[in-house]
Amino acid sequence: MSPDTISIQLPDGSLRSVPRGSTPFDIATGISPRLAAAVVVARIRPLEASAAEGVAETEAAATEEAMYSGSVSSGQTARIVDLSAPLHEDVALELLKEADEAALKVVRHSAAHVMATAILELFPETKLGHGPATDSGFFYDVYRPTPFTEDDLTAIERRMHEVVARNEPFVREVESREKGLEDYTREGEFMKVHFIERFTAPGDEISLYRNGSFTDFCRGPHVPSTGRVKAFKVTSVAGAYWLGDEKNQQLQRIYGTAFFNAKDLDAHFKRLEEIKARDHRVLGKQLDLFSIQEVAGAGLIFWHPKGGLVRKIMEDWMRDECIRRGYDLVFTPHIMRRDLWKISGHEGFYGENMYPPMELDDAEYRLKPMNCPGHILIYKSSPRSYRDLPIRYAELGNVYRYERSGTMHGLLRVRGFTQDDAHVFCTPGQIEDEVIACIEFAQSVLQTFGFSDFKVELSTWDPAKPQDYTGSPENWRLAIESLKSALNRKGIPYKEIPGEAAFYGPKIDVKLVDILGRLWQLSTVQFDFNLPARFELEYTGEDGEKHSPVMVHRALFGSVERFFGVLIEHYAGAFPMWLAPVQVGIVPISEKHLEYAASVKARLEAAGLRVDLDARNEKMNAKIRELTLHKIPFVLVVGDKESASEQVSVRTRGKGDEGSVPLVTFLDRATALVKDHAMAL
Ligand SMILES: [Zn+2]
Ligand SMILES: [Zn+2]
């Protein structure tokens, strides 16, 4: 190979020889001009890096460090570069077109530059902070004493369209750090000065990206020109303190989002509307399911009668399943002596999440943040032998945890909640089967409640730092192996996250995927090497000697409150028959049909259905509308014809008027839906 050429390996494995200093754009043009027009950025990897090292990459602008530091951190073998970046060594090259996640981030960060350009053209007194891409768009932190109004945001967006229409190339320029600091200091750009000082070192060169007359300190990469930022919107503005310190200047964070095309942008806002329409806090009020009351305190849930009914169904199902699967149901107190929390270690490592102690006549007490010590005391209440194991204690236990004010969120983040908690005590030889049983139980919860998709994560330790963990390396290996082996035996794909385990044991997390594709962390199967040691738990083995049992914590709903919140959003409040608090609404056409309506209600209730008869002296259509708004699965209308022939006229949720059928036919249909836990309605 001549010193003036370099080798480029394309994704299909073919090699191309090109002049040293060629850019990805040159190479794309060499392949086809149409390709050159479609690519956004390039991903390169040194050719000597073996493929086995994977494609870990520096995500463009994912973090502040990544935004400003010029170097690629160690271990990262691939990185995203401008199409205009000259290549000086042999590389594997991927030309990223639209639809690539990494390319979208580059488009979004470029949109942030376009927005900064517009802001400075309209409001030249503004000082710039930083403008990274995010998972859903981008923002730019700016300093300007006058708050930006809605009209200002509209004007900024309009000016952005002009900047895009000008199709200014993004040009990378390099200058000395000292020159950059001098210029920014003179211009009063205190945030840029801070970022240069923090993320570069004396003697470094810094990179700037210029489009038209706007220049920004930035590592890049960027799209080739402003014209490539095609579909965007400025969405909102929020206050933030510089460096998160309230003694500092108040900044304004202007948010926007950008996509490859208008279709994706529209889909994004449709999805946001869909999420808003499913907000469990709004539906909880509208459907009268639950409330949170200022007078009682934040993060504390009041279950109204209809929400209470759903909860009863969830809890009954869970308790019955526990018994069917060999668990014992237990109940433990809400407050226990402070000394117990000292033995368990919660006083130390969990104290700041607990409510403060209360002084009673004999001792200090604390509200329980977890159920484990209670279950352990039951285990310890009599001697245990290997013949007693496994012991599985389950409780729908109310726990109280201190969450900072302002962090609470409906049913999802609360200060008091109910864990469907269980603790398994077993021998090391039993552990794998126990883990499998927990996984099967978790799958059954998801299927029963209507979730078909889930993701599993396995958090393990960092074996290089055994001092950070309690429990012997041998125990850790055994535990991790049992968890892996259980997942493999069930054929469940999982992602291992080394170093993510708690200090007391590895765990499996099951994250369900809801109808909008959102992930929710609910079920956990967690090993514990800490509590059995702290409480000196033991059992007599087959050898007649004392041994320490293996302890596993597991929760499947996670919390009943949180799971209910997820259910409300997943179903948009339209619960399937078996979960619906009211399953059937009855509307008599006039007062003279009241008697027949009441007899229909009695028949349905006798079959175990939950029925609401609207006997008010209101217009029929108004009643139907109201029952429909409450998302009741079936509304039955009864008039002369139905009364005379033992029929009901059926309106089905989502389908509308289905005409009259014999009452028995409807009864069979409705009870079958409940019995089967059917998802269809
Ligand atoms: Zn930039
Ligand atoms: Zn526990």
Of 571, 592, 612, which residue sits at a domain end? 571
- Ligand 1 mean position, distance from CA 218 (Å): 5
In a domain, 256, yes or no: yes
In a domain, 577, yes or no: no
48 confidence band (pLDDT: 50, 70, 90): low
Examine the domain organization and report whether 118 and 92 are in the same domain: no
Alpha carbon 314 to chain centroid, angstroms: 22
The whole-number pLDDT of residue 71 equals 40
The whole-number pLDDT of residue 2 equals 65
Q: Which amino acid is at 130?
A: H
CATH of the domain at 170: 3.30.980.10
Joined together, the tokens standing for residue 343 give: 């033995």
The whole-number pLDDT of residue 55 equals 37
Q: DSSP 3-state assignment of 111?
A: helix
In a domain, 275, yes or no: no
Counting ligands in written order, the one closest to the CA of 128 is: 1
Catalytic residue, chosen from 130, 219, 401, 601, is: 401
- Ligand 2 mean position, distance from CA 569 (Å): 28
Catalytic residue, chosen from 423, 484, 562, 593, is: 423
Give the largest Cα separation in the chain, rounded.
99
Of 52, 69, 97, which residue sits at a domain end? 97
Strands annotated E in 379-532 = 391-400, 416-426, 453-460, 495-498, 507-513, 519-528
Q: What is the CA radius of gyration of the chain?
A: 31
Examine the domain organization and report whether 70 and 108 are in the same domain: no
Report the distance separating Cα 661 and Cα 271, nearest Å: 38
Contact predicate 77/45, CB 8 Å:
yes
667 φ/ψ angles, rounded to the nearest 5 degrees: -60, -45
CATH of the domain at 10: 3.10.20.30
447 confidence band (pLDDT: 50, 70, 90): very high
In a domain, 544, yes or no: yes
Examine the domain organization and report whether 90 and 111 are in the same domain: no
538 φ/ψ angles, rounded to the nearest 5 degrees: -155, 165
- Ligand 1 mean position, distance from CA 219 (Å): 6
CB-count burial class (<10 Å; 0-12, 13-18, 19+) for 144: middle
Report the distance separating Cα 338 and Cα 160, nearest Å: 60
Contact predicate 4/20, CB 8 Å:
yes
Examine the domain organization and report whether 340 and 401 are in the same domain: yes
- Ligand 1 mean position, distance from CA 102 (Å): 14
Contact predicate 524/511, CB 8 Å:
no
Examine the domain organization and report whether 536 and 667 are in the same domain: no
Q: What CA–CA distances, in Å, run from 2 to 5, 19, 23, 25, 88? A: 6, 9, 18, 22, 13
In a domain, 187, yes or no: yes
Q: Which of the 8 DSSP states describes residue 13?
A: S
Of 191, 210, 194, the C-alpha closest to 128 is: 191
* Residue 553 designated active-site: yes
Counting ligands in written order, the one closest to the CA of 527 is: 2
- Domain span at residue 651 reads 584-675
> What pLDDT, in 10s, does the model give residues 398-424?
999 998 888 889 999 999 999 999 999
Examine the domain organization and report whether 366 and 297 are in the same domain: yes
- Ligand 2 mean position, distance from CA 526 (Å): 8
The whole-number pLDDT of residue 355 equals 95
Angle at 665 between CA 675 and CA 305, to 5 degrees: 50
Examine the domain organization and report whether 359 and 485 are in the same domain: yes
The whole-number pLDDT of residue 51 equals 44
Report the distance separating Cα 29 and Cα 236, nearest Å: 39
* Residue 222 designated active-site: no
In a domain, 578, yes or no: no
Residue 70 has pLDDT above 60, yes or no: no
Q: Which of the 8 DSSP states describes residue 232?
A: E
Give every strand in the sheet of 214-217, ordered side by side. 171-176, 205-211, 214-217
- Ligand 2 mean position, distance from CA 427 (Å): 18
Catalytic residue, chosen from 553, 570, 593, 653, is: 553
Examine the domain organization and report whether 376 and 450 are in the same domain: yes
Of 237, 267, 297, which residue sits at a domain end? 267
The whole-number pLDDT of residue 470 equals 86
Examine the domain organization and report whether 371 and 518 are in the same domain: yes
Report the distance separating Cα 377 and Cα 15, nearest Å: 68
Report the distance separating Cα 448 and Cα 283, nearest Å: 22
Examine the domain organization and report whether 557 and 668 are in the same domain: no
Contact predicate 410/565, CB 8 Å:
yes
Counting ligands in written order, the one closest to the CA of 525 is: 2
What DSSP assignment string belongs to 458-483?
EEE--TT-GGGSSS-HHHHHHHHHHH
Of 262, 296, 256, 301, the C-alpha closest to 280 is: 301
CATH of the domain at 647: 3.40.50.800
Counting ligands in written order, the one closest to the CA of 108 is: 1
The whole-number pLDDT of residue 1 equals 53
Domain total for the chain? 4
Q: DSSP 3-state assignment of 403?
A: coil
- Ligand 1 mean position, distance from CA 155 (Å): 22
> What pLDDT, in 10s, does the model give residues 149-192?
999 999 999 999 999 999 999 999 999 999 999 999 999 999 99
Report the distance separating Cα 421 and Cα 417, nearest Å: 11
Counting ligands in written order, the one closest to the CA of 423 is: 2
Phi/psi-derived region of residue 499, left when phi > 0, alpha when psi is between -120 and 50, beta in every other case: left
Q: Give the strand pairing for 416-426 and 391-400.
A: antiparallel
Q: DSSP 3-state assignment of 61?
A: coil
Examine the domain organization and report whether 91 and 126 are in the same domain: no
Catalytic residue, chosen from 419, 430, 526, 583, is: 419
Residue 144 has pLDDT above 80, yes or no: yes
* Residue 419 designated active-site: yes
Mean pLDDT, range 477-490, rounded to an integer: 92
Q: DSSP 3-state assignment of 541?
A: coil
- Ligand 1 mean position, distance from CA 316 (Å): 55
388 confidence band (pLDDT: 50, 70, 90): very high
Angle at 95 between CA 92 and CA 100, to 5 degrees: 120
Catalytic residue, chosen from 306, 384, 507, 562, is: 507
Catalytic residue, chosen from 421, 438, 583, 623, is: 421
516 confidence band (pLDDT: 50, 70, 90): confident
| Residue that wins the pLDDT comparison between 37 and 110 | 110
What DSSP assignment string belongs to 609-634?
--EEE--SSS-HHHHHHHHHHTT-SE
CATH of the domain at 487: 3.30.930.10
CB-count burial class (<10 Å; 0-12, 13-18, 19+) for 20: middle
In a domain, 635, yes or no: yes
* Residue 109 designated active-site: no
Query: 393 - beta bridge partners?
Result: 328, 423
- Ligand 2 mean position, distance from CA 418 (Å): 13
- Ligand 1 mean position, distance from CA 172 (Å): 10
Counting ligands in written order, the one closest to the CA of 424 is: 2
Counting ligands in written order, the one closest to the CA of 218 is: 1
In a domain, 432, yes or no: yes
Mean pLDDT, range 250-266, rounded to an integer: 95
Joined together, the tokens standing for residue 488 give: 């493999």
* Residue 45 designated active-site: no
The whole-number pLDDT of residue 60 equals 34
Mean pLDDT, range 521-526, rounded to an integer: 93
Mean pLDDT, range 334-363, rounded to an integer: 93
Alpha carbon 473 to chain centroid, angstroms: 32
Contact predicate 590/637, CB 8 Å:
no
- Ligand 1 mean position, distance from CA 101 (Å): 17
Q: Which percentage of the chain shows pLDDT scores above 70?
A: 95
Residue 77 has pLDDT above 80, yes or no: no
Of 258, 180, 187, the C-alpha closest to 219 is: 180
Q: DSSP 3-state assignment of 547?
A: strand
Strands annotated E in 160-300 = 171-176, 205-211, 214-217, 231-241, 250-259, 290-292
- Ligand 1 mean position, distance from CA 107 (Å): 10
Cis? peptide before 633, omega within 30° of 0: no
Examine the domain organization and report whether 447 and 342 are in the same domain: yes
